[in-house]
Structure 1
């Protein structure tokens, strides 16, 4: 089936107007971002039910979530690079098909370990979708609409994360645990048909395809990232000998990967690309900001239930407010980036996040739930602005033969931030609360832990702001020196 690609129309004001084919292509990319995001959170709510269904311990059923997360983290850069070589549209279609098929296998799995294996396969499909969806933006929409497209994808990611727990609860209660996976099958079929029909065919890229794929580099990076992810997720913030050993293995793997990439003819990641300050700065900021955003998911439930005394239903409603704000502000944020510029909006988003995080810490207990939701809405709305601006900065001016691998690295930086935030910010919260058993801590201790955690989170965003300002200054100085020469 040959995809239909039309040139964008121009309005009287000279702005690019999306044609129906572009809208349908964006619909496919939106589904490709929604589905993996939905499955990041939808399985968590079903863990107690799955433990009962398979007669397994909680530690065993946790691998249903961990297998998915590890597959994405370990493989996302490799599949991004593979898309640059074999064609991003072709690999995205394969990823959608694999994700859909794996979802079916999850829903009919007769044993826990077959379910875990199917989740790992689903994670591979999700890695393809997440890496290549962002990479396809440059081939799907005009350059001046990149910010709007990035904002839309950010909105779909937030909707998927928000919708997962509530949709999962409804499906399990009404139709059984199998449906939390089977719901992806009709979505996947629709997405595959849209992508096959409307996404643009890759142009032949001889430069990206030169040399053999870097199998050694791909394996080293996958093992290194898996070691880091396991170190951050096993033990729930309590670091033991195993966690330290995994971190040391990750550090050794990083050094070995860098050495290998400097020697091979066609590396997975060209180390020289990190000389680009926009890329290095953007990836560093993405990791820092994602680490901080995870703090709201780690600390929020304990603060709302233990310090403010809310029941589970009200905690869930309040916790959905942040992602809901991100979903509502993602598209407007992208349009603001297109209008006022990515650099300016990156700084604006970070400054507003700093203000919001300090307000969360300062206002705790004074205005109840309103004193929590208000500043958190400010943080989340400006996170959407930052994400649209930062993604636009990274993806706009890169070479076409590097879009897949850099998109994979961008998704990886965000995923590593979330993993690190769950462990590190959780440990900060526990330590600041002055207790090892957080569920038995007094409300006053929980409130103190929340204040300290969000104050440290604000300082991390200050660090991201310093990185941004330094990077922009270096880029400006480099541009001036090139003009002078």
Structure 2
């Protein structure tokens, strides 16, 4: 699934530096990668619940809160592929440790931030650190475990990641209610300390000897600046005193930047995003579905805490428990859905899952007074729709990838899911701010917009 990054090295054969057997240290290697990945996955799910408390403390506008989310997502999505390539060339352990240290330092900055601006800066640094450490997790597992047990190790990592992601919202809600939203960032420190100790003690350095040539830093920079400009433009539209002309100029600059990115990738010797897989209509279509599905999911997760806390007066803990089914249902039912898709083909499951997600968003948009019908039911529907669609989506992407480019295809799909969230928060945030100014209840209209953006995917 797009939430489980598959860097280029993870899908390759174990290189010459890989041990023939994981030995007694294999469990410690797995524990280190799980702890490090858990930081990134938990962080994303906790922060959205903390947004209302952050807004209350700093008196921040919605535009600033969007950047608390998007500062992280922008850097993670745009730098993810470069992070994987850097580990293949420089050394996975080295980049993994560097990412851990940067993520930890950024978490301390976020937890202690006296202003919203410093909090956003910390989130940008967190995203950069996550882009370095997350791609190395599967690559380190692939280099540590031989083929006959590698699938089991990756399955353990994926299951643990699903559990930690599911526990993120209730854990975050409890920490916020019991202490402060700052505890959502302090929780990263013990996780990082454990991961760092295990890494330095048990993970040997390894790299991919087949990874040659320079990293496409030009393409990476153009991608960051282009998506950054688009996000800035969309965010400026949410500000009451924003300059609409400047917002449109920023968006136009972002659009031109994306065209430049395509031109750069066509000429690059080692493109960060190879364009050859897009010759397949199935591959292109699957990534378009990824944009809609993950855009809808991220948009709902961004807006729902404001709806539940602001309109319904719920506690952060209650909001976290409301979101608990999301990770659990996806974690439990994605694998059976993938098995059925292998048997019957992914198209039916993609359409059905997308349709269920659209219905969930529409129910949220109705703003029903009943908590069970207006919040719990749509969250369960959203979870079920994603569970039905996620594994078949990955199957469609990987099956349509050209020979020898499965790693690139997986990386592109991962990046698409992250960037979908980036744009969704920007677009739906703009719609929500417009609705708030007109006095409409909660984030209902923005959730309806989320349903509208999912409908084409269901088609």
* Structure-1-length-normalised TM-score: 0.71
Distance 1:451 1:413, change over 3 A: closer
Count the aligned residue pairs: 433
Structure 2 CA distance for partners of 1:115 and 1:297, relative to 1, 3 Å: closer
Aligned to 1:171: 179
The structure-2 alpha-carbon separation of the partners of 1:6 and 1:258, relative to structure 1 and needing over 3 Å to count, comes to same
| Superposed counterparts of 1:450-461, under 5 Å | 452-453=448-449, 455-461=451-457
Does 2:29 align with 1:29?
no
Q: Which residue in 2 is equivalent to 1:103?
A: 107
Q: Answer with 1 or 2: which has the greater Rg.
A: 1
Alignment root-mean-square deviation, CA = 4.4
Aligned partner of 1:417 among 411, 416, 420: 420
Cα deviation for residue 417 of structure 1 reads 1.5
Structure 1, gaps ≥5 residues long: 8-18, 464-485
2:217 to 215, 229, 249: 215
Aligned partner of 2:251 in structure 1 is 247
> 1:405-463: per-residue Cα shift (whole Å, max 9, x none)?
655533321222222222334555677xxx5625x2369xx87x478446525513314
For residue 351 of structure 1, report the CA deviation from its aligned partner. 0.6
Report the CA distance shift for 1:330/1:132 in structure 2 as closer, same or farther (over 3 A): farther
What do residues 270-299 of structure 1 show as CA deviations (whole Å, max 9, x unaligned)?
Answer: 222333556434432221101111343355
Report the counterpart of residue 312 of structure 1 in structure 2. Answer: 314
Decide which moves more: 38-47 or 279-288: 38-47
1:78 aligns with 2:79: no
> Partners in 1 of 2:158 and 2:338 — Cα distance?
10
Q: Which residue of 2 aligns with 1:462?
A: 458
* SS class of match (1:311): coil
* Contact 1:88–1:404, Cα closer than 8 Å, also in 2: no
> Cα deviation per residue 1:136-193 (whole Å; 9 max; x = unaligned)?
56555634886775455344334335543542443328xxx4x443332221021123
| Equivalent residue, structure 2, for 1:354 | 355
Superposed counterparts of 1:7-406, under 5 Å: 24-40=28-44, 42=46, 62=65, 67-107=71-111, 116-133=120-137, 142-143=150-151, 150=158, 152-160=160-168, 163-172=171-180, 177=182, 179-196=183-200, 202=206, 204-206=208-210, 208-210=211-213, 212-236=214-238, 240-276=244-280, 279-298=283-302, 300-301=304-305, 310-313=312-315, 317-318=318-319, 320-322=321-323, 324-336=324-336, 339-341=339-341, 344=345, 347-348=348-349, 350-355=351-356, 357-358=358-359, 361=362, 364=366, 368-372=370-374, 373-391=376-394, 394=397
Gaps of 5+ in 2: 1-16
CA gap of 1:127–1:450, structure 2 versus 1, over 3 A, is closer
For normalisation by structure 2, the TM-score amounts to: 0.75
Q: Distance in 2 between matches of 1:291 and 1:146?
A: 26
